[in-house]
Structure 1
């Protein structure tokens, strides 16, 4: 092999000079590893420099290649019989495929006004591809959803796929990382190649697992190789398909990765109006009155949509198991809080679990009338007045 390496190296230089494709670069990397295995260190080092040069050139700026209008959302049709790609070392599938007629994730997510406008804007672009093509405008085919865990980013992606009537190819990127050298980059390439062959939306969950900053001193050199592969794949995918990435840790992302996304959408914790809509969605058939609903909205100020869903399910279970008991609403909420601590714990938790008088005072200061407090605590209005009088005397 070494006798002919000058010919092989010249071919590799020309490939890199003209802009190496993912497939070509993978073959050069395989050749480099073969050189190392045969102790041809001089030849391996030359290939290493070529690979490094190719990665550096590809990661300087996002791709400037003109979008091929004919290729947008082109490809074969995914069917239930289509097999997803798999890890060649373990045989584990690299993704799951969900079709729009699968309704397990079809619940319409509750969005605040700003987020709803952003999402509807994306859907409108993707639904009007021909009109955009006529005026030479490219739609935002790559989107990054970021925010705290449990805010509904993944559910939002499923909802978008259903609205567009497209299959969703879902990959948890932390599952693509392998202990075998070079396998992680190969898995990412195979995943993107698969998604680009079909009309679908590619959903990259746990995106920060492989898109970390390349200057992170805690990471080994392999992560740089993975990120470079990811950048190339995102550039290629942006020419012919919709990609949505999801992360809970946007600060960990490599700056070059941020630039690959046409749309970057923050998914916040729900505000008071949204929290009420979410509770109205998940609480039935459990019935609560307006005062109790106002109390839940007040108490869940820092809750995510996932937290609210979990609370609703717990309250429904409690109502069935303890149906014969005479617990008032506040006692039921206390029972929930004792077994449901979250990372979003706020001052309301301590108030609810504390003395009733202190909780009543806090609620009164936040706009609950004494009459409503009497209903909430199942007390006579005179009792509420006495509580406040005693608190004033203590002060």
Structure 2
């Protein structure tokens, strides 16, 4: 056995680092595969048993806040994602690389290399960071755990740190994708004098967790304010992906996938230039609401005036003065304007005005 492998096994045993130990064992197995097939198979069986045992930990209870008894993570399992996100080419290449490394984990570990275990997403709000985390989890066949920042952040000194540690320990014990959204809230620069010592200590906990993250799980941090992060954080992540604002080309693809009715209505990508996906969604949802309400009001109006629409021109011309006046008053109460009533009943607008004035005076 090579001295490097022996030293890795010694370091793993002394430090209690299971990840380092597994890498050393896989490297050793790779070295003796051709010279001692029986021992190689025994080692492979043991590694498989460890992987199976880890998978079985999915039923482990979720971490709770000790005071409120609320869960500290939101869980999506399975991931319901009917349509894939629309990515910029650089983002798509980086995400596909993560999946590719996961498909070849065994080969990488035999060479002493971990697949990407930690990823940091940065970019403006609404550009697809959270959706991309869901997409990765779905494609990896893993549950998505999202840190519930509102529950984790506590006003009690020391509680925030213990809550975050509980989430990290839980995610490290079971195969999953853990999303730390709004990461800048818990990983702020330690040289910021405005922050409490507790949050500064929390950064140290995060750094250690990133270093020790197991290869059967994926840690994703997402931030809208990368300038607030502690500088030491950046060096710890295996992959850094920047999400740009969508280009006109990407917006066109997004509208085709998610809002085809917007294209039918004449809206084009240039109308949404400079907007994030979430802002595009917000504008289109509002337009859809207005369209639904407008159509609904139109149907009500048609229903309210249905009786008069069934009358022929002959009926209208032979209508008595009392009947005509009743229709004027009825349509007015339904919200029709004097001009509209004049057109519906085929009478002059001054006549409508006079009847309404007399009715109001009456």
TM-score norm. by structure 1 comes to 0.60
Distance change in 2, residues 1:286/1:274 (3 Å): closer
Distance change in 2, residues 1:241/1:217 (3 Å): same
**1:90 match:** 68
In structure 1, the residue corresponding to 2:121 is in which secondary structure? strand
- Residues 201, 243 of structure 1: 8 Å contact kept: yes
**2:320 match:** none
State the shift of 1:160 in Å.
Answer: 0.7
- Number of residues of Structure 1 aligned to a counterpart in Structure 2: 260
Separation in 1, partners of 2:240, 2:52: 21
Larger-Rg structure: 2
State the shift of 1:248 in Å.
Answer: 0.7
- Residues 95, 170 of structure 1: 8 Å contact kept: yes
Distance change in 2, residues 1:256/1:106 (3 Å): farther
Separation in 1, partners of 2:57, 2:75: 9
Q: Deviation digits for residues 6-48 of structure 1, max 9, x if unmatched? A: xxxxxxxxxxxx9999xxxxxxxxxxxxxxxxxxxxxxxxxxx
**1:307 match:** 279
- Residues 282, 309 of structure 1: 8 Å contact kept: no
- Residues 126, 278 of structure 2: 8 Å contact kept: yes
**2:6 match:** none
From 178, 185, 189, the equivalent of 2:161 is: 185
Separation in 2, partners of 1:244, 1:320: 39
Distance change in 2, residues 1:78/1:72 (3 Å): closer
1:214-229 → structure 2 map (5 Å cutoff): 214-229=190-205
In structure 2, the residue corresponding to 1:185 is in which secondary structure? helix
**1:109 match:** 85
**2:146 match:** 170
Separation in 2, partners of 1:172, 1:73: 28
Separation in 2, partners of 1:139, 1:259: 16
Distance change in 2, residues 1:127/1:240 (3 Å): closer
Separation in 1, partners of 2:228, 2:65: 26
**1:77 match:** 56
In structure 2, the residue corresponding to 1:219 is in which secondary structure? coil
State the shift of 1:137 in Å.
Answer: 2.2
In structure 2, the residue corresponding to 1:68 is in which secondary structure? helix
- Residues 172, 206 of structure 1: 8 Å contact kept: no
- Residues 144, 245 of structure 1: 8 Å contact kept: yes
Structure 1, unmatched stretches of 5+, are: 1-17, 22-62, 327-395
**1:205 match:** 181
Separation in 2, partners of 1:174, 1:226: 16
Distance change in 2, residues 1:129/1:73 (3 Å): farther
- Residues 246, 276 of structure 2: 8 Å contact kept: yes
CA RMSD of superposed structures (Å): 2.8
From 288, 292, 298, the equivalent of 1:320 is: 292
Structure 2, unmatched stretches of 5+, are: 1-12, 24-46, 299-362
Q: Deviation digits for residues 219-266 of structure 1, max 9, x if unmatched? A: 122211111122222222255531111111111000111111010100
Separation in 1, partners of 2:273, 2:262: 21
Separation in 1, partners of 2:65, 2:296: 54
Separation in 1, partners of 2:148, 2:182: 6
